[in-house]
Amino acid sequence: MSGVPEEPAAEPDRIFELQEEIDQLKEAVASHAVVDQAIGMVVALGRVTPDEGWAVLKEVSQHTNIKLRNVADLILIWGRSGEIPKEIRVELQEALERYGPTQIPGAPSE
């Protein structure tokens, strides 16, 4: 460290870089929230554990070649509107069949 202050011309560049980083972090937080909400829906509707819900979302994403965030968005839209693209519904159903349903603790076995 030379102790020499940065060139004034470098300050706008640094401010721009920091603003970009802030925007990326905001997007990551929003994306995380969407994915968490979709996991919650999968857990509740599919009677699977949260880890299994995460695995179900990943599998649907991989099998449909749609980004996980977008799959999560589609699942949340489905929760609000009752509509979901057929390919997502089919993959979601198949993944849930592989993972669930999980036995509810304390429930009598069938």
The per-residue pLDDT for range 7-56, each reduced to its tens digit, is: 566 788 888 888 888 888 888 777 788 999 999 999 998 999 999 999 99
What is the per-residue pLDDT across 52-85, written as a single tens digit (0 to 9) for each?
999 999 999 999 999 999 999 999 999 999 999 9
In a domain, 92, yes or no: yes
- Can you give the pLDDT at residue 42? 94
Domain of 33 in residue numbering reads as 25-99
Structural domain count, the chain: 1
In a domain, 54, yes or no: yes
- Can you give the pLDDT at residue 84? 92
Look at the pTM and tell me if it is higher than 0.75.
no
Integer angstrom CA distances of residue 43 from 12, 72, 79: 46, 13, 13
